[in-house]
Chains A and B, each alone.
Chain A
Amino acid sequence: MNFSSQLIEEAVNAFSKLPGIGKKTALRLVMHLLKEDKEEVLAITGAIGKMRSEIRFCIHCNNVSDHDECNICRDAFRNKRLLCVVENMRDVISIEATQQFSGVYHVLGGLLAPLDGIGPDQLFLQNLRDRVISQEAEEIIMALNPTIEGDTTMFYISKMFAGMDIKLTSIARGVSFGAELEYTDELTLARSISKRLPIDTYVKM
Chain B
Amino acid sequence: MSTLESITLTQFRNFPHARFSFREKIVGITGLNGIGKTNLLDAIYYLCFTKSYFQSRDKYNVQHHQNGFRISGIFMNGQSPEEVTCVWKDGKKTFSSGKVPYEKISEHIGKYSAVMIAPDDSDIITGSGEYRRKFFDGILCLKEAGYLEHLLHYNKVLQQKNAYLKMQYGSAPDHNLLNIYDAQLAAHGAFLIEKRMHLTSRLPEWVSHFYRQVSSNTEEAPRIAYEPNTTDPAASYRNGRQRETEAKRTLWGPHLDDWSFFINDSHCKAHASQGQKKSFLISLKLSQIELLSQSDIQPILLLDDIFEKLDPVRLRNLFNLLQQQRFAQIFMTHTNAEDIMKFTKDIFKDIQIEAL
Complex A-B: 25 CB contacts under 8 Å: A112-B177, A114-B160, A114-B161, A114-B164, A114-B166, A114-B167, A115-B160, A115-B163, A117-B167, A119-B167, A119-B174, A119-B177, A120-B176, A148-B184, A149-B160, A152-B157, A152-B180, A152-B184, A155-B180, A155-B183, A155-B184, A156-B177, A159-B179, A159-B180, A187-B149
- Determine whether B156 belongs to the interface, using a CB cutoff of 8 Å to chain A: yes
CA distance A146 to B100 in the complex (A): 33
A114 and B159 CA atoms in complex are apart in Å by 9
Shortest Cβ distance from A162 into B: residue: B176
Q: Which residue from A113, A115, A120 sits with its C-beta under 8 Å from B174?
A: A120
Which B162-193 residues sit within 8 Å CB-CB of chain A?
163-164, 166-167, 174, 176-177, 179-181, 183-184
Chain B neighbourhood of A156, CB < 8 A: 176-177, 180
Contact A113 B167 (CB under 8 A): no
Most chain B CB within a 10 A radius of its CB, from A115, A149, A156, A187: A115
Chain B interface residue bracket vs A: 10 to 19
The minimal Cβ–Cβ distance linking B319 to chain A, given in whole angstroms, is: 41
A108 to chain B, nearest CB (A): 14
Tell me, yes or no, whether A160 is within 8 Å of chain B by CB: yes
CB-CB contacts below 8 Å: A123-154 with B: 148-149, 151-152
Q: Is the interface of A mostly helix, strand, loop or mixed?
A: helix
> CA A49 – CA B160 in complex, angstroms?
38
- Quick check: is B153 within 8 A (CB to CB) of the other chain? yes
Dominant SS among interface residues on chain B:
helix
Contact A160 B176, beta carbon cutoff 8 Å: yes
A residues less than 8 Å from B183 (CB atoms): 155
Q: How far is the CA of A74 from the CA of B231 in the complex (A)?
A: 54
Give B314-334 as 1s and 0s: 1 = Cβ < 8 Å from A's Cβ atoms: 000000000000000000000
Assembled-state Cα–Cα distance A152/B177 (Å): 8
Closest to A159 in B: B176
Contact of B159 among A115, A120, A151, A155 (CB under 8 A): A115
Chain A 157-174 against B: per-residue CB contact (8 Å), 1 yes, 0 no? Answer: 001100000000000000
Report how far A151 CA is from B161 CA in the complex, Å.
14
B62-105 to A contact mask, C-beta < 8 Å, 1/0 = 00000000000000000000000000000000000000000000
Residues of A within 8 Å of B149, CB to CB, are 187
| Minimum C-beta distance from B165 to chain A (A) | 8
Q: How far is the CB of A145 from chain B (nearest CB, A)?
A: 14
Q: A156 CA to B159 CA in the complex, in Å?
A: 17
Chain B neighbourhood of A112, CB < 8 A: 160, 177
Are the CB atoms of B177 and A120 closer together than 8 Å?
yes
Q: Is the CB of A113 within 8 A of B160?
A: yes
Bound-state Cα–Cα, A112 to B153, Å:
16
| Complex contacts, A187 vs chain B, CB 8 Å | 149
Residue among A113, A119, A151 with max Cβ neighbours from chain B (10 Å):
A119
Residues of A within 8 A of B157 (CB): 148, 152
Evaluate whether A119 and B164 lie within 8 angstroms (CB atoms) in the complex, with A148-B156, A187-B149 already known. Answer: yes
Which residues of the partner chain A approach B180 to less than 8 Å between Cβ atoms? 152, 155-156, 159
| A-B CB proximity, top 9 nearest | A114-B164, A114-B163, A115-B163, A155-B180, A159-B176, A148-B156, A120-B174, A114-B160, A114-B167
Q: In the docked arrangement, what's the CA distance between A151 and B149, Å?
A: 16
User: 8 Å CB contacts to B: which residues of A76-130?
Assistant: 112-115, 117, 119-120
Query: What is the distance, in angstroms, from A117's C-beta to the closest C-beta of chain B?
Result: 7
- A193–B83 alpha-carbon span in the complex (Å): 38
Question: Which of A112, A152, A160 has the most C-beta atoms of chain B within 10 angstroms of its own C-beta?
Answer: A152
* Identity of the chain B residue whose Cβ is nearest the Cβ of A121 in the assembled complex: B174
